[in-house]
């Protein structure tokens, strides 16, 4: 939906952080019955970044957030709201956002976690946009951060090839300029498809006990082929929604930043949507699927290497467990 208010949301700065340690396809070959050629051909992934022992989601979030603040020429004291989009917080409570608020040295501002799996960052930025449009807040830190590898079963070859750790952040900032900023957000969820991608244990439905560990219910589980199909369908739909809402044609888009789950999903959405492949930001090869972090990390990398320039139209899109999906159109 688009709305007409005096305020809009611009992206004042971006940042990202990937842990140093790499988990390569050759490393995974030693853990499960798979091989580098299959992983590259079916997913495009070559390696993923893995957090060190003692390195938590809030630590990754902190490093990405500090870079975003620096790029925006702000300090933590300027922040009015912190949203951390994650499904792998340091612990259930306090929230990762509260941990980050303390670590980054922000004032006693509103801070909360947002759980929408791989669509998290798109949901989070759309949420920040609402707080900004109403005039309530001026500078909002939105982070997508995950340490997913601790929820992965390295005996399950379907999932362990996919996931990695990382964090990306933006400073969403109030502006009265009509020539830049977020133009629309389209967010969806379809709970009837919730069983396609689950992390069964740790909630009120399945508290931890020995039987959880015996069954391996502390790990993510998915129906990959089904997710693949719905991912292509939903991301294509929400991208079309963004074009329709803004009365734009596809050739007016400069960059699409899709959720990085699988190179074949990205290619399928691109050709379904009819976007030129050179306009799609892709980094799944070197980071795997970092859930809520994929979109802001790809965003930051493309801003810092000069691909994305001020004034260009950028379309973010994602899908994830839930099943959730979303798109955001902006003039950067
Ligand atoms: O953010 C959302 C998170 N989840 C996703 O995005 C997952 C989306 N889905 C996918 O990325 C793909 O479905 C996978 C990469 C998970 C699987 O690729 P696929 O092309 O859909 O393979 P498939 O499930 O159709 O399996 C083809 C074959 C099967 O063998 P048979 O039954 O044909 O003999 C699998 O057992 O490939 C086998 N297989 C593997 N072989 C080698 C499955 N995983 C592997 C593996 N290495 N790691």
In angstroms, rounded to a whole number, what is the distance separating the alpha carbons of residues 107 and 6? Answer: 27
224 lines ligand 1 (CB under 6 A): yes
38 lines ligand 1 (CB under 6 A): yes
Give me the mean pLDDT over the 268-280 stretch. 93
Residue % of the chain over a pLDDT of 90: 97
Give me the mean pLDDT over the 263-269 stretch. 96
Query: Residues 98, 118, 160, 239: which is the catalytic one?
Result: 118
In angstroms, rounded to a whole number, what is the distance separating the alpha carbons of residues 199 and 222? Answer: 9
Relative to beta strand 324-331, strand 313-320 is antiparallel
Q: What is residue 273's predicted lDDT score, i.e. its pLDDT? A: 87
User: pLDDT digit string (tens) for 187-222?
Assistant: 999 999 999 999 999 999 999 999 999 999 999 999
For the question of residue 289 being annotated catalytic, the response is yes
Three-state secondary-structure class, residue 9: strand
Q: How far is the CA of 151 from the centre of ligand 1 (A)?
A: 18
Spell out the alpha helix ranges (H) of 16-154: 25-29, 36-43, 57-71, 96-104, 120-133
Q: What is residue 4's predicted lDDT score, i.e. its pLDDT? A: 66
Is the pTM here over 0.75, yes or no? yes
User: pLDDT digit string (tens) for 28-39?
Assistant: 999 999 999 999
Give percent helix, percent strand, percent coil of the chain, each to the nearest 5.
Answer: 40, 25, 35
Query: Residues 25, 139, 283, 289: which is the catalytic one?
Result: 289
For the question of residue 262 being annotated catalytic, the response is no
């Amino acid at each position: 939906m688009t709305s007409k208010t005096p305020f809009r949301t611009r992206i004042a700065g971006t940042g990202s952080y990937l842990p140093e340690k790499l988990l390569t396809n050759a490393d995974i070959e030693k853990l499960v019955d798979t091989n580098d050629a299959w992983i590259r051909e079916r997913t495009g992934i070559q390696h993923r970044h893995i957090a060190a022992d003692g390195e938590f989601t809030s630590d990754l979030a902190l490093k990405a957030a500090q870079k975003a603040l620096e790029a925006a020429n702000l300090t933590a004291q300027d922040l009015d709201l912190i949203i951390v989009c994650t499904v792998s917080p340091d612990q259930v409570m306090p929230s990762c956002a509260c941990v980050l608020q303390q670590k980054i040295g922000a004032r006693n501002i509103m801070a909360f976690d947002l759980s929408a799996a791989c669509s998290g960052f798109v949901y989070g930025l759309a949420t920040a946009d609402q707080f900004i449009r109403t005039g309530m807040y001026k500078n909002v830190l939105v982070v997508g951060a995950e340490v997913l590898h601790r929820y992965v079963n390295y005996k399950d070859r379907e999932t362990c090839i996919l996931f990695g750790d990382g964090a990306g952040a933006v400073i969403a900032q109030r502006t009265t300029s009509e020539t830049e900023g977020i133009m629309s957000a389209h967010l969806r969820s379809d709970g009837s498809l919730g069983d396609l991608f689950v992390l069964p244990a740790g909630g009120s439905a399945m508290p931890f006990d020995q039987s959880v560990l015996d069954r391996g219910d502390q790990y993510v589980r998915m129906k990959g082929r089904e997710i693949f199909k719905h991912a292509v369908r939903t991301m294509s739909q929400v991208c079309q929604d963004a074009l329709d809402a803004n009365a734009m044609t596809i050739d007016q888009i400069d960059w699409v930043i899709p959720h990085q789950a699988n190179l074949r999903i990205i290619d399928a959405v691109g050709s379904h949507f009819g976007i030129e492949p050179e306009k799609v930001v892709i980094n799944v090869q070197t980071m795997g699927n970092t859930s809520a972090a994929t979109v802001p990390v790809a965003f930051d990398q493309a801003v810092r290497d000069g691909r994305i320039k001020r004034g260009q139209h950028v379309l973010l899109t994602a899908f994830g467990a839930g099943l959730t999906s979303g798109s955001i159109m902006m003039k950067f």
